Amino acid sequence: MNVIRIKIEIRIQPEGEASKIDLNFGYKNFLAVALAVLSFLILLSAVSLSFIPLLAIIPLIMLMQILGSGAVTSFAASMSEFLLLLEKSHAKEQLDEARRRWQADARGISDLYERLVAAHTEIWGHTRVLEYKISEYTEQGLTKEEAIRKVAEEEGTLRSR
């Protein structure tokens, strides 16, 4: 029998491509138990005409604080791990979809790269931003060709022929 309970209410609300997760922690039972224990200790102290039972309040408060925060911390850690796995899974699905789209595109990578270089040189006067973007994507696990196609897609170069 678990008397000290912490209730959690989870609401997931879609917001465009993402979702919002609201977590409401309810300490109603937890606080009721704390109040009952406190009342019992005060009553015991009054009946025994001693303050010694009241000294038990200090470790009990510490224990209840540890139990309460421990449950919330444990849940938050589990939720964080789950959401991280969910995010990785979604990112992998998007990457697989993008790879299929890029493989279906017959244009040569050198043509795309030359157009990106021309666009970046016209806008920035150099290609450092382009090279930085490509290196960021290759560090994330894309090949150089995939990184070039991703940058071209982001900048609209891939759509125009």
Contacts of 4 (CB under 8 A, 6+ apart): 29, 30, 33, 64, 67
Between CA 83 and CA 21 the distance in angstroms is: 10
pLDDT(113) > 70: yes
Between CA 153 and CA 27 the distance in angstroms is: 50
pLDDT(126) > 60: yes
Tell me, yes or no, whether 69 and 134 share the same domain: no
Confidence (pLDDT) at 59: 84
Confidence (pLDDT) at 128: 94
Tell me, yes or no, whether 97 and 115 share the same domain: no
Tell me, yes or no, whether 69 and 121 share the same domain: no
Residue that finishes a domain, picked among 104, 123, 149: 104
Tell me, yes or no, whether 57 and 38 share the same domain: yes
Tell me, yes or no, whether 52 and 28 share the same domain: yes
Q: Look-up: residue for tokens 């125009």?
A: 160
Tell me, yes or no, whether 20 and 54 share the same domain: yes
Between CA 4 and CA 67 the distance in angstroms is: 9
Tell me, yes or no, whether 39 and 16 share the same domain: yes
Tell me, yes or no, whether 60 and 22 share the same domain: yes
pLDDT(160) > 50: no
Predicted confidence (pLDDT) per residue in 18-36, tens digit: 788 888 877 777 778 888 8
User: How many domains is the chain built from?
Assistant: 2
| 26: enclosing H helix or E strand | strand 18-26
Which pair of structure tokens corresponds to residue 7?
Answer: 């209730």
Q: Look-up: residue for tokens 């090279």?
A: 131
Residue that finishes a domain, picked among 104, 119, 152: 104
Tell me, yes or no, whether 7 and 68 share the same domain: yes
Residue 113's nearest CA partner among 123, 124, 127 is 127
Which pair of structure tokens corresponds to residue 45?
Answer: 């102290």
Tell me, yes or no, whether 68 and 138 share the same domain: no
Residue that finishes a domain, picked among 78, 104, 130: 104
Which residue segment(s) compose the domain that 42 sits in? 1-104
The interaxial angle of helices 144-154 and 109-124, nearest 10 deg, is: 50
Tell me, yes or no, whether 19 and 82 share the same domain: yes
Tell me, yes or no, whether 3 and 49 share the same domain: yes
Confidence (pLDDT) at 51: 81
pTM beyond 0.85, yes or no: no
Alpha carbon 9 to its chain centroid, in Å, reads 18
What is the pairing mode between strands 7-15 and 18-26? antiparallel
